[in-house]
A and B are shown apart, each in its own frame.
Chain A
Amino acid sequence: MERRTIFPGWLLPVALVLPQLALTVVFFLWPAGQAIWSSATRTDPFGIHTRFVGVENFADLFIDPLYIDTIWRSVLFCVCVAALAMGSAMVFAVAADREIRFRGLYRILLIWPYAIAPAMAAVLWILLLHPQIGLIGRWLNRIGVAWDYKLNGFQAMLVVILASAWKEVSYNFIFLLAGLQSIPRSVIEAARMDGARGFFRFRTVVLPLLMPTVFFLLVVNLVYAAFDTFGTIWAMTSGGPGKATETLVVKVYRDGMVNQDIGSSSAQSVVLMLGVIVLTALQFRFLGRRSGGA
Chain B
Amino acid sequence: MNGRIDWPAHVVLVLGAVLFLLPIWLVVTGSTLDPDAIARGELSLVPRLGGLGVYASVMTEGSPGAGPVWRMLMVSAGMALTIAFGKIIISVLSAYAVTFFRFPFRMTAFWIIFITLMLPVEVRIIPTYSVMSDLGLINTFPGLTVPLIASATATLLFRQTFLAVPDELMEAARMDGAGPWRFLKDILVPVSAANIAALFVILFVYGWNQYLWPLLVATDPKLDTIVIGIVKMIGTETKTEWNRVMATAVLALLPPIAVVMLMQRWFVKGLTEGDK
Q: Are A and B close enough to touch in the complex, i.e. CB under 8 Å?
A: yes
Q: Which residue in B6, B39, B126 is a CB contact (below 8 Å) of A256?
A: B126
Beta-carbon contacts under 8 Å, A253-281 to B: 253, 256-257, 262, 265-266, 269, 272-273, 276-277, 280
Q: Which residue in A20, A108, A127 is a CB contact (below 8 Å) of B150?
A: A20
Tell me, yes or no, whether B253 is within 8 Å of chain A by CB: yes
Task: From B10, B122, B123, B260, name the one whose CB has the most chain A CB atoms within 10 angstroms.
Answer: B123
Tell me, yes or no, whether A116 is within 8 Å of chain B by CB: yes
* Stretch of A28-36, A40-48, A68-76 contacting B (4+ beta carbons < 8 Å): A28-36
Q: Which residues of A contact B6 (CB under 8 A)?
A: 98-100
Question: Whole-angstrom distance between the alpha carbons of A31 and B261 in the complex?
Answer: 37
How many residues does chain B have at the interface if contact means C-beta atoms less than 8 Å apart? Answer: 112
Contact A235 B211 (CB under 8 A): yes
Q: Which residue in A109, A122, A234, A252 is a CB contact (below 8 Å) of B21?
A: A109
Q: Which residue in B122, B179, B208, B260 is a CB contact (below 8 Å) of A230?
A: B122
Question: Whole-angstrom distance between the alpha carbons of A20 and B127 in the complex?
Answer: 19
Q: Which residues of A contact B102 (CB under 8 A)?
A: 6, 10
Which bracket fits the contact residues of A? 35 or more
Tell me, yes or no, whether B144 is within 8 Å of chain A by CB: no
Q: Which residue of A lies closest to B21 (CB)?
A: A109
- Per-residue 0/1 for B12-39: is the Cβ within 8 Å of any A Cβ (1 yes, 0 no)? 1100110111011011001000000011
Q: Which residues of A contact B242 (CB under 8 A)?
A: 127, 133
Q: Which residues of A contact B13 (CB under 8 A)?
A: 92, 95-96, 100, 106, 109-110
Contact A118 B122 (CB under 8 A): no
Q: Which residues of B contact A253 (CB under 8 A)?
A: 122, 125, 212
Given A31-B128, A269-B126: A95 in contact with B43 (beta carbons within 8 A): no
Contact B17 A133 (CB under 8 A): no
* Stretch of B46-54, B56-64, B67-75, B153-161 contacting A (4+ beta carbons < 8 Å): B153-161
Given A3-B99, A120-B209, A269-B125: A27 in contact with B131 (beta carbons within 8 A): yes
Q: Which residue in B96, B156, B230 is a CB contact (below 8 Å) of A119?
A: B230
Closest CB-CB distance, A206 to chain B, in whole Å?
15
Q: Which residues of B contact A127 (CB under 8 A)?
A: 23, 26-27, 30, 242, 245-246, 249
Contact B259 A292 (CB under 8 A): no
Tell me, yes or no, whether B66 is within 8 Å of chain A by CB: no
Closest CB-CB distance, A143 to chain B, in whole Å?
14
Question: Whole-angstrom distance between the alpha carbons of A293 and B10 in the complex?
Answer: 29
Q: Which residue in A20, A115, A122, A178 is a CB contact (below 8 Å) of B272?
A: A178
Q: Which residues of B contact A265 (CB under 8 A)?
A: 126
Contact A7 B100 (CB under 8 A): yes
Q: Which residues of A contact B203 (CB under 8 A)?
A: 294
Q: Which residue in A123, A132, A290 is a CB contact (below 8 Å) of B231?
A: A123
Contact A24 B112 (CB under 8 A): yes
Closest CB-CB distance, B101 to chain A, in whole Å?
4
Q: Which residue in B112, B249, B252 is a CB contact (below 8 Å) of A29?
A: B112
Question: Whole-angstrom distance between the alpha carbons of A39 and B1 in the complex?
Answer: 62
Q: Which residues of B contact A1 (CB under 8 A)?
A: 163
Tell me, yes or no, whether A112 is within 8 Å of chain B by CB: yes
Given A1-B163, A31-B128, A291-B117: A13 in contact with B41 (beta carbons within 8 A): no
Q: List chain A positions with a Cβ less than 8 A from chain B.
A: 1-7, 9-10, 12-14, 16-17, 19-21, 23-35, 38, 88, 91-92, 95-96, 98-102, 106, 108-120, 122-128, 132-133, 135, 138, 166, 169-170, 174-175, 178, 182, 213, 216, 223, 227-228, 230-231, 234-235, 249, 252-253, 256-257, 262, 265-266, 269, 272-273, 276-277, 280, 289-294
